């Protein structure tokens, strides 16, 4: 659970019952509370970029989602579902480091009813097809779930939508906060996994691989379709044995569970120059492998270039994961390896 250092309430948050409830909740906690006279976020300290980043990560903003026009979320879903923005984790490689400004605070929305009503409109527009919504495109919503209850409400909502599906990904483990909700197989939960070496080096303030896998086993036992996002894959050092050990640990933990609906998504490490420069300012001692001479340059779908492993390395990675996953997880699906 994320317990922030400070909680900032936008003025309009108090127009909603959930905003008032959250204000009462945090009044009983050892946190700084700031009530704004507007909806413009203020009160987060910081002199240099590293301090602004750290203080932002310790801040929770309670606010209202003003725009109810959802962003698309291709190729994995049709739309983003904005329940939360930001993440308490401090992963050095995270693309959100360049997306959420100098003070990347976590923002939870109190107008969940309105957000879900908008989702229902999108579902009705595509009434003859399944419409999929991604709940973690710009966030990890699980750490704030104990007090926001946004995931539980959303899972319950989608259970009653014959043509609506919800999915989200997390690195965190407090799954008890939603797994008892009736889901009817309409919500899929994905866990972001990596080796403990990668987690310790780059995924600060996140649980170990073992704890994530334990949480995933609880979700699987409750019948949720469950996926594993292994990302980013670092093809450095003894990487094959390290990722094989990770997958063996996962197999051993979930092999006894019958009728599993399991999928895998594998993404290799890549970075942009803008991301590299931001990372080096926030984490000047980082050991992330970011030498342009060791990578190939590739233009992405959004028009900017990134540095990726070369074709031979990607081919080797695909062959490795396809072989190990097909051996250890019979009947599972590999959605993609990139």
Q: What is the DSSP string of 147-211?
A: HH-HHHHHHHHHHT-TTEEEEEEES---GGGTTTS--TT-EEEEEEE--HHHHHHHEET---HHH
Q: What is the pLDDT of residues 110-142, one digit of tens each?
A: 999 999 999 999 999 998 999 999 999 999 999
Cβ proximity of 84 and 100 under 8 Å:
no
φ, ψ of residue 64 in degrees (nearest 5): -115, 135
The span from the CA of 128 to the CA of 167, in Å, is: 20
Q: In the chain, which residue ranges form alpha helices assigned H by DSSP? A: 17-27, 49-57, 112-125, 145-148, 150-159, 196-202, 209-221, 239-254, 273-282, 311-328
Supply the pLDDT for residue 300: 67
Which band of pLDDT confidence, cut at 50, 70 and 90, is reported for residue 101? confident
Place of tokens 């905003």: 19
Whether 96 shows a pLDDT value over 70: the answer reads: yes
Q: What is the pLDDT of residues 31-59, one digit of tens each?
A: 999 999 988 899 999 989 999 999 999 99
The span from the CA of 242 to the CA of 194, in Å, is: 9
Residue range 73-90: mean pLDDT, rounded: 94
pLDDT over 70, % of the chain: 98
Place of tokens 């866990």: 191
> Which pTM value belongs to this model?
0.94
Q: What is the pLDDT of residues 70-80, one digit of tens each?
A: 999 988 899 99
Q: What is the pLDDT of residues 265-324, one digit of tens each?
A: 999 999 999 999 999 999 999 999 999 999 999 886 666 799 999 999 999 999 999 999
Residue 223 CB neighbour total at 10 angstroms: 15
- Angle value at C-alpha 337, between 164 and 222, nearest 5 degrees: 45
pLDDT over 90, % of the chain: 90
Whether 182 shows a pLDDT value over 70: the answer reads: yes
Mean of per-residue pLDDT scores for the chain: 95
Supply the pLDDT for residue 303: 64
Compute the radius of gyration of the chain from its Cα atoms: 20
Give which of 189, 195, 194, 271 is closest to 231, Cα–Cα: 194
The span from the CA of 77 to the CA of 168, in Å, is: 10
Q: What is the pLDDT of residues 206-227, one digit of tens each?
A: 999 999 999 999 999 999 999 9
Spatial strand order in the sheet of 84-85: 32-35, 6-9, 59-63, 106-109, 84-85
Supply the pLDDT for residue 114: 98
Q: What is the pLDDT of residues 187-210, one digit of tens each?
A: 999 999 999 999 999 999 999 999
Tokens of 169: 């990904």
Q: Cβ-count burial of 89 within 10 angstroms (0-12 exposed, 13-18 middle, 19+ buried)?
A: buried
């Amino acid at each position: 659970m994320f317990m922030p250092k400070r909680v900032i309430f936008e003025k309009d948050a108090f127009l909603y019952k959930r905003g008032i409830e959250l204000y009462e909740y945090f009044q009983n906690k050892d946190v700084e509370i700031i009530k704004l006279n507007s909806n413009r976020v203020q009160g987060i300290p910081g002199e240099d970029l590293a301090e602004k980043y750290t203080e932002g990560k310790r801040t929770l903003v309670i606010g209202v989602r003003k725009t109810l026009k959802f962003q698309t979320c291709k190729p994995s879903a049709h739309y983003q579902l904005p329940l939360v923005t930001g993440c308490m984790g401090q992963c050095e490689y995270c693309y959100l480091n360049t997306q959420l400004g100098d003070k990347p605070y976590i923002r939870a929305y109190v107008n969940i009813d309105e957000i879900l009503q908008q989702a229902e409109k999108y579902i009705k527009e595509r009434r003859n097809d399944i419409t999929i919504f991604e709940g973690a495109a710009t966030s990890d919503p699980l750490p704030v779930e104990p007090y926001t209850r946004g995931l539980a409400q959303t899972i319950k909502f989608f259970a009653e939508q014959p043509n609506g599906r919800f999915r989200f990904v997390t690195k965190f483990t407090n799954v008890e906060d939603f797994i008892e909700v009736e889901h009817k197989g309409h919500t899929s939960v994905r866990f972001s996994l990596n080796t403990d070496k990668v987690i310790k080096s780059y995924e600060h303030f996140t649980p170990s691989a073992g704890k994530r896998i334990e949480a995933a086993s609880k979700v699987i036992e409750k019948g949720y379709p469950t996926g594993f996002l292994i990302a980013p894959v670092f093809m450095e050092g003894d990487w094959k044995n390290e990722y094989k050990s990770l997958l063996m640990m996962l197999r051993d933990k979930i092999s006894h569970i019958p009728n599993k609906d399991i999928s895998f998504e594998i993404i290799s490490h890549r970075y942009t120059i803008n991301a590299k420069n931001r990372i080096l300012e926030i984490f000047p001692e980082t050991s992330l492998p970011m030498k342009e001479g060791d990578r190939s340059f590739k233009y992405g779908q959004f028009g900017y270039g990134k540095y990726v492993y070369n074709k031979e390395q990607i081919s080797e990675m695909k062959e490795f994961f396809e072989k190990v996953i097909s051996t250890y997880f019979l009947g599972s699906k590999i959605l993609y390896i990139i």
